Amino acid sequence: MCGIVGFTNYNEVMSNNEVRNVIENMNNKMARRGPDEEGCYINKRIAMAHKRLIVIDPDGGKQPMSFNYQGNNYVITYNGQIYNSKELRTILLDNGFKFDGHSDTEVLLKAFVFYGFDVVKHLNGIFAFAIWNIKKEELFLARDHFGVKPLYYSIKNKEIIFSSEIKALFEFPSIYPIIDEQGISELFGIGPAHTPGVIPFKGIKELKPATYIVFNKNYMVEEKYWKLESKKHNDDFETTCQKVEHLLKDSIERQLISDVPICTFLSGGLDSSIITKYTVDYYQKKETYKLNTFSVDYKDNNKNFQKTDFQPNTDADYIDFISNKLGTNHRVVTIDTPELVNSLKDAVIARDMPGMADVDSSLLLFCKKVKKYATVAISGECADEIFAGYPWFFREDALNSQTFPWSLNLDNRQQLLNQSINKKIKLKDYVDIKYNESLDEVEFFGGDTIETIEKKRISYLTMNWFMQTLLDRTDRMAMYSGLEVRVPFCDYRIAEYLWNIPWEMKAYKGREKGLLRYIMKDKLPEMIVQRKKSPYPKTWNPNYLSKVKSILTDIMNDSQAPIKYILNSDEIWKLINTSGKDYTKPWFGQLMTGPQLIAYLIQVNIWLEIYKPQIEI
């Protein structure tokens, strides 16, 4: 995995020296994404640069990479991994292409030359890349099916500037951090999620998943190349199970290709156990290899844990059981409260946004420790979105909420805004618009039952909103330490097939992920297969609440704290003095209650201090 940046220079406003200084400054802002190597390409119309994390073909995968074909030259800067690289390579060889190395970068570049813009329809992987066509003086930008890899851009003076991370864009001379009404609505109405394609900074966009852009001095075209399509599901239950198992096994095995050490995240839940089981099986066929697995925990969590509807038990016993059963070399990363709180700032820097508070900083610290042993990790992320694992797929209050079911407390969010902003911005109106726009995108098959239609709606929202938040989190927190995390459940082929499976099959016997449990009933121990879903763990240490309350108190006592220009001080003091007791139910997701809201507001203040945005409201 890597970081990419670039910009066009059609107007030749900058000199060669200025272009080089700007592109190098942009590239250096992403040093953590690619600690192993860097490269730069500049000509009179384009500047592109790359920070590399070496995973495959150290010598043959250097970037930016160029390829001369039939009198034209193409240059690529690319972040990601193409999992069907082997098949594409065979097709290209059969059509007269030759290869200098075995990197997927070279395959991707030559596949673009062969397929043109349709190359994205032939890719299975996670990717964000830019390809410059020298003869046409044209730039092609593309992002993977679910946006696992990030890509942001801004258009200034008929030039396009792009980057893997937002912070790099601010190194470009005419791009400044500005927040308007939409930005505030995103931060406090949608946050820590965000509307696909939209970020709080005015004038900066996210390239949407499954989308490409063609940009030259005359026009820009933006096209969506893939979407979920509803059609009749013709397979019976056993055939469905066989196909899902094949797709899942194939996806996992494709993602085990690497020239550097691989590990898995193991929580003792169904999803991570499936990933670990197939990974162990794969390596045992090839060599004697004891897989490294990792889990996260918190100091004194065993003493302070409180059972909830969303987190019914702790992970430790399940992890020990399945690790011993599969024969992995397991390590527990234990995080203490001070480092968890102190890393809230690093999590903001990594994400360029206020995020999921300690859930972010925990993952950041976890990945930092894992990086000491591996460069690539395989995660069970996205199984709950694809296979219907979240409680809101089954809870009537969530299904009937007429809003995003992971973010139900909109009235409380509105009260956080100060009086002046409160008059101008109505968060519920903004969220309602985004919610209904998203539902309008859902397609149904004429034969879908009423229940299947209902579940497709919430499934679509979950995959295109909640899952995006978790994918953002995973990429930024992991890449901050130069760790690549792969997500086999997020294979678009699995999502396509699961999308059309009737609800009574998907939720077999009325269980969350019922179909997946049935498929794994003879492959994993019953203790694991039947375990109720438990999310990524949070700290239950009361010291955490005390610490974040203390920090937010200091912020509110600081007359210059930027958050005070946006939020209602009375409401924040109430939040502090009541320890967030009005937020005993999650205000976002499954785990983010009062302490996490306090931490989120700390992150908002940190974000405002670091990026110093101009407020235009």
Instruction: Please give the pLDDT value at position 583.
Output: 82
433 shares a domain with 399: yes
Answer whether residue 307 is part of any domain: yes
411 shares a domain with 379: yes
Instruction: Please give the pLDDT value at position 159.
Output: 96
- Beta carbons of 66 and 91 less than 8 angstroms apart: no
Answer whether residue 229 is part of any domain: no
Residue range(s) defining the domain that contains residue 382? 237-529
177 shares a domain with 45: yes
- Other beta carbons within 10 Å of 397: 9
Give the list of residues 6+ apart from residue 430 with CB closer than 8 angstroms, or none. Answer: 182, 185, 189, 190
| Residue 80 Ramachandran class (φ > 0 left, ψ -120 to 50 alpha, else beta) | left
Instruction: Please give the pLDDT value at position 25.
Output: 97
Instruction: Please give the pLDDT value at position 288.
Output: 64
Distance in angstroms (rounded) separating the CA atoms of residues 116 and 499? 29
Instruction: Please give the pLDDT value at position 166.
Output: 98
Which amino acid is residue 173, in one-letter code? P
Mean pLDDT by 10 residues, the chain (617 residues): 92 88 96 91 95 81 94 97 97 97 95 98 98 97 98 96 98 96 97 96 98 96 97 97 98 92 95 97 80 93 71 83 96 94 97 96 97 95 96 89 90 92 95 96 88 93 96 97 96 98 95 97 96 83 92 96 95 91 84 91 98 94
Answer whether residue 433 is part of any domain: yes
Distance in angstroms (rounded) separating the CA atoms of residues 556 and 553? 5
Give the list of residues 6+ apart from residue 332 with CB closer than 8 angstroms, or none. Answer: 294, 295, 296, 297, 316, 319
Smallest Cα–Cα separation from 81: which of 43, 46, 52, 45?
Answer: 52
Answer whether residue 534 is part of any domain: no
Instruction: Please give the pLDDT value at position 309.
Output: 63
21 to 42, 171, 217: CA distances (angstroms): 11, 10, 23
The token pair that represents 215 in the structure block: 């940009």
Q: Which residues are catalytic?
A: 2
What is residue 295's three-state secondary structure?
strand
- Beta carbons of 208 and 447 less than 8 angstroms apart: no
- Beta carbons of 64 and 77 less than 8 angstroms apart: yes
- From 508, 529, 550, the end of a domain falls on 529
Instruction: Please give the pLDDT value at position 88.
Output: 98
Q: What is the DSSP code string of 330-383?
A: EEEEEE-HHHHHHTHHHHHHHHTS--STHHHHHHHHHHHHHTTT-SEEE--TTH
Instruction: Please give the pLDDT value at position 497.
Output: 98
245 shares a domain with 217: no
Q: What angle is formed at CA 260 by the lines to CA 254 and CA 264, rounded to 5 degrees?
A: 60
Answer whether residue 209 is part of any domain: yes
Instruction: Please give the pLDDT value at position 310.
Output: 63
- Beta carbons of 143 and 210 less than 8 angstroms apart: yes
Answer whether residue 585 is part of any domain: yes
Q: What are phi and psi of 158, to 5 degrees?
A: 65, 25
How many structural domains is the chain composed of? 3
Answer whether residue 537 is part of any domain: no
562 shares a domain with 505: no
- From 506, 529, 552, the end of a domain falls on 529
Check which CATH number belongs to the domain holding 419 and give it: 3.40.50.620
282 shares a domain with 156: no
- Tokens 């020239």 belong to residue: 259
- From 172, 190, 224, the end of a domain falls on 224
- Measured in residues, the chain has a length of 617
Predicted TM-score (pTM) of this structure: 0.95
475 shares a domain with 389: yes
Check which CATH number belongs to the domain holding 170 and give it: 3.60.20.10
476 shares a domain with 586: no
What is residue 316's three-state secondary structure?
helix
Instruction: Please give the pLDDT value at position 161.
Output: 98
Answer whether residue 16 is part of any domain: yes
- Beta carbons of 558 and 405 less than 8 angstroms apart: no
148 shares a domain with 181: yes
411 shares a domain with 448: yes
Instruction: Please give the pLDDT value at position 308.
Output: 66
250 shares a domain with 329: yes
Instruction: Please give the pLDDT value at position 303.
Output: 73
552 shares a domain with 501: no
